[in-house]
Amino acid sequence: MAKKQYAVIGMGRFGSSVAQELSDLGFEVLAIDVSEQKIQEASNWVTHAVAVDSTDEEALRSLGLRNFDVVVVAIGEDIQASILTTLILKELGVPELIVKAQNELHGKVLNKIGADKVVFPERDMGLRVAHHLISPNILEYIELSNDYSIVEMKAPDFTIGRNLMQLDIRARFKCNVLAIKKGTEMNIAPSAENVIQEDDVLVIVGKTEDLSELELVYAEG
């Protein structure tokens, strides 16, 4: 199977790290930015880099962007340019369109005009840092939807040596332990008899409000 081809528009901090990582992973990446200087920098680490204003429909068409599997729009500050670019790419028939949003309203517009996925990198990282601050046990925090999230937490002291039945997380917090990580091993179907050991990491899914309660209780010990 041919490797997927990616285009990333906007070589700010977010766009350039997406492009660079894809390139490091061995994928072909076309980097696009209106700034010649950004394109010169990007050409050091991506397959192709072109200086183009992405609100110019003809220019985007001539780049053949509809033949790319995924296009990432990473223009932040100029919301109008981000929306126009998304509209043009949608009309060109790009198979998968991922767009960075600056705020909730921008995100809503992007969803309405057909972005396949809208990402909020600053907001998401802010959430993660906040959860890590509440409890250093929280290693990872992922919002699944408006109501549901997943947290990855270091097993707190009071859970060690007890099994999942004794901890009764489902009844106490209405959350489910999806998996238990032990070093590099991952048990993705933990049973009620599974005893938590020191340095285990618990992966828990639940309603965001229930998870917050669990995090607070776990933060205490």
Compare residues 13 and 108 and give the one whose CB is closer to ligand ATP. 13
Q: Can residue 81 be called a binding residue for ligand ATP (CB under 6 A)?
A: yes
User: Is residue 212 classed exposed, middle or buried when 0-12, 13-18 and 19+ CB atoms within 10 A define those classes?
Assistant: middle
Nearby residues of 208 by Cβ (< 8 Å), 6 or more positions away: 143, 147, 148, 149
Tell me the backbone φ, ψ of residue 135, rounded to 5 degrees: -145, 115
Q: Can residue 61 be called a binding residue for ligand ATP (CB under 6 A)?
A: no
Q: Can residue 210 be called a binding residue for ligand ATP (CB under 6 A)?
A: no
Place of tokens 């397959």: 47
Q: Can residue 137 be called a binding residue for ligand ATP (CB under 6 A)?
A: no
Q: Can residue 39 be called a binding residue for ligand ATP (CB under 6 A)?
A: no
Contact with ligand ATP (CB under 6 A) among 14, 68, 141, 173:
14
Q: Which helix (H) or strand (E) holds 16?
A: helix 13-24
Q: Can residue 181 be called a binding residue for ligand ATP (CB under 6 A)?
A: no
Which residue stretch of 7-15, 105-113, 136-144, 155-163 sits at the interface with ligand ATP (rule: CB under 6 A)? 7-15
Which residue stretch of 71-79, 128-136, 186-194, 204-212 sits at the interface with ligand ATP (rule: CB under 6 A)? 71-79
Asked whether the beta carbons of 52 and 108 are under 8 A apart, the reply is: no
Helices (H), 28-148: 36-42, 57-62, 79-92, 104-112, 121-134
User: Is residue 163 classed exposed, middle or buried when 0-12, 13-18 and 19+ CB atoms within 10 A define those classes?
Assistant: middle
Q: Can residue 55 be called a binding residue for ligand ATP (CB under 6 A)?
A: yes
Minimal distance, residue 14 CB to ligand ATP, in Å: 3
Asked whether the beta carbons of 115 and 130 are under 8 A apart, the reply is: no
Q: Which residue is nearest to ligand ATP (CB)?
A: 76
Q: Which helix (H) or strand (E) holds 139?
A: strand 138-143
Minimal distance, residue 51 CB to ligand ATP, in Å: 8
Contact with ligand ATP (CB under 6 A) among 41, 69, 78, 116:
78
Q: Applying CB under 6 A, which residues contact ligand ATP?
A: 9-15, 32-35, 38, 53-55, 74-78, 81
